[in-house]
Amino acid sequence: MGTVQYDFTDETVIVTGGSSGIGRAIALAFGDAGATVLNADVDPEPKDRDADEPTHERIEAEGGTAAFVETDVSDPEEIAVAVEAAREHGGVDVMVNNAGLYIGGPMLETTEAAFDRIHAVNAKGVFFGTQIAAEDMIDRGVAGSIVNTASISSAVAQFGQVQYDSTKGAIRMITRGSALELAEHDVRVNAVAPGQIATEFLDGWTEEAQEGAAADEFLKPVPLGRAGFPTDVAPAALFLASDAAGYVTGELLYVDGGWQIV
């Protein structure tokens, strides 16, 4: 099979939630592709068990340019600070709204506080991340790209995940609606929609995901026979941000091992 290489030299990329998991993989991939990467997260320390240094330090150690900007995406003012920080490197060219959290549990037992918290990070963070980055791109007159992290939950309900699924459904429509409004400004908006990815998003999920996929124990089997990894999602994000996807906007690119087709 062929290989693909992307070149983001002279471009600045913000990745929210870039310290761990899918966000870290995306940030490292952009760093490998020559971009200046800003990790906008609440904590620079990675949660991944195989990661021994912060994302920005890893990129710099490999000869790239990167920085950490402490950012709570539930606060639009902090997102604005991250976007302003990108101006020191020429301004944001690619915005990856990846930061998110998971709060599960039955709908009948969901508290208002839990509902508000997950929507503040997952949905509000993506909405204002898109808005603030787009405003900066338009102000600078650049043809920018915004990539959001959605999910299979953007379109498929899963038991005990109403509050989480609703945030990912919101991201789907934020992506599509923003793409419609921003097209005239040459700003494209798309999303990656991961399936069952082995990350530290849930404590211990890495081993459980691997064992479950191997034993076909998921509620739905994964046709490709394994859980996905963050490194399976990162190339999709780079594609959507690149000129190769120059005629693609408002789309969700599912990276789920075929989970939806079962």
In what side-by-side order are the strands of the sheet with 188-194? 65-70, 36-41, 12-16, 94-97, 145-149, 188-194, 252-255
Alpha carbons 81 and 232: distance in angstroms, whole number: 30
Helix (H) or strand (E) holding 180: helix 162-182
Alpha carbons 162 and 111: distance in angstroms, whole number: 12
Count Cβ atoms within 10 A of the Cβ of residue 155 and give its class: 0-12 exposed, 13-18 middle, 19 or more buried: middle
Is 164 a known active-site residue?
yes
Three-state SS for 67?
A: strand
Catalytic residue among 6, 102, 164, 247: 164
Three-state SS for 217?
A: coil
- Strands (E) across 30-116 are located at 36-41, 65-70, 94-97
List active site positions.
164
